[in-house]
Amino acid sequence: MKIYIDGEYFDKDNACISVFDHGLLYGDGVFEGIRIYSGRAFKLKEHIKRLFMSAKAIRLDIPLTEKVMEETVTESIRINGTENGYIRLVVTRGKGDLGVDPAKCPKASVIIIVADIELYPEEYYTKGIKIITASTRRLHPDGIDPRIKSLNYLNNILAKIEAAQAGCMEAVMLNKEGYVTECTGDNIFIIYNNVLLTPAPACGILNGITRQTVIELAESTGVETASTFLTQYDLYTADECFLTGTGAEIIPVIMIDGRVVGNGEPGRVTGKLMNEFRATYMPRNFS
């Protein structure tokens, strides 16, 4: 494994950053997770665009242009010889001092990790998973805008701990008004009366790239979609439920807070969208 750090490639054991990097000290930075299918990065332009938008929002100057960043990610895939895998692209504020002042960090650092990933065993894609509702609430947009994909994931981690303690793989998070937002690392969808529903961006979600891809696939195959405000009641009474994310792709949910979803098996629309996603992007017909 060769890891890119600020223009150089290092072996895994020798890939290091300074203990004074503000990404480590304060979670000051942004990142993207990107899938690799058939040797190419999935929706690379969209991911790089979102990375730069996140950076702009926190006044972080990335020392590469969007075009050069795309080329560097592609080169990292080639150097690692990866056909199917995962990219973690990180931009930190860089090395500074022990104060939080970002002005003390003269240059941002760019890190590209190309690796394998398997968030869920294959059987979960055929049988579905169980999730809970976390007591940890999603951070409100008046604090940190959820569209900023920052390095500070403590809010999500606390909800993930709750899921693990409940014996589940994931937890859905509510906002302070009690509306459904997203899970700790995935967007959430339900199907009710043959309509595909997902929380609206105004609920306080990261507008996931896989989320948007699934909405487009659904609409192209005649499935009605809507981004709206959902409550736990909507989750409990849904006909189907699934999660989407770069790592998870599309994974069915069969139980929420002990309530069986539908008939307790991955639903028809979920299966249709999983098949469409795989046929379109995995691993051939990549676009």
Give mean pLDDT, residues 31-39: 95
DSSP secondary structure of the chain:
-EEEETTEEEEGGG----TTBHHHHH--EEEEEEEEETTEETTHHHHHHHHHHHHHHTT---SS-HHHHHHHHHHHHHHHT-SSEEEEEEEE--B--SSS-GGG--S-EEEEEEE---SS-HHHHHH-EEEEE-SSPPPPTTTS-TTS-BS--HHHHHHHHHHHHTT-SEEEEE-TTS-EEEESSSEEEEEETTEEEEE-GGGT----HHHHHHHHHHHHTT-EEEEE---HHHHHT-SEEEEEETTTEEEEEEEETTEEPTTSS--HHHHHHHHHHHHHHSSSS--
For the chain, domains (ranges, CATH) are 2-115 (3.30.470.10), 122-281 (3.20.10.10)
Cα–Cα distance, 134 to 161 (Å, whole number) = 9
Tell me what pLDDT residue 285 has.
Answer: 43
Please check whether residue 23 is in contact with residue 29, taking contact to mean a CB–CB distance below 8 angstroms. Answer: yes
pLDDT band for 287, please (50, 70, 90 cuts).
Answer: very low
Task: Say if residue 16's pLDDT is above 70.
Answer: yes
Q: Residue 283 — very low, low, confident or very high, per pLDDT cuts 50/70/90?
A: low
Q: What b/e string do you get for 128-161 counting C-beta neighbours within 10 Å, with b at 16 or more?
A: bbbbbbbebbbbebeeeebebbbbeeebbebbbe
**% of residues, the chain, pLDDT over 70:** 98
Tens digit of pLDDT for each residue in 195-252? Answer: 999 999 999 999 899 999 999 999 999 999 999 999 999 999 999 999 999 989 999 9
Over residues 256-282, the pLDDT tens digits come to 999 999 999 999 999 999 999 999 987
How do residues 142-198 score in pLDDT, each as one tens digit?
A: 889 999 999 999 999 999 999 999 999 999 999 999 999 999 999 999 999 999 999
Catalytic residue among 56, 149, 160, 272: 149
Known catalytic residue at 149: yes
Mean pLDDT over each residue of the chain, to the nearest integer: 95
- Dump pLDDT digits (tens) for 48-101: 999 999 999 999 999 999 999 999 999 999 999 999 999 999 999 999 999 999
What order of strands is seen across the sheet that includes strand 8-11?
Answer: 8-11, 2-5, 109-115, 85-92, 29-37, 40-41
pLDDT of 286 reads 41
Exposure of 183 by Cβ count < 10 A (0-12 exposed, 13-18 middle, 19+ buried)?
buried
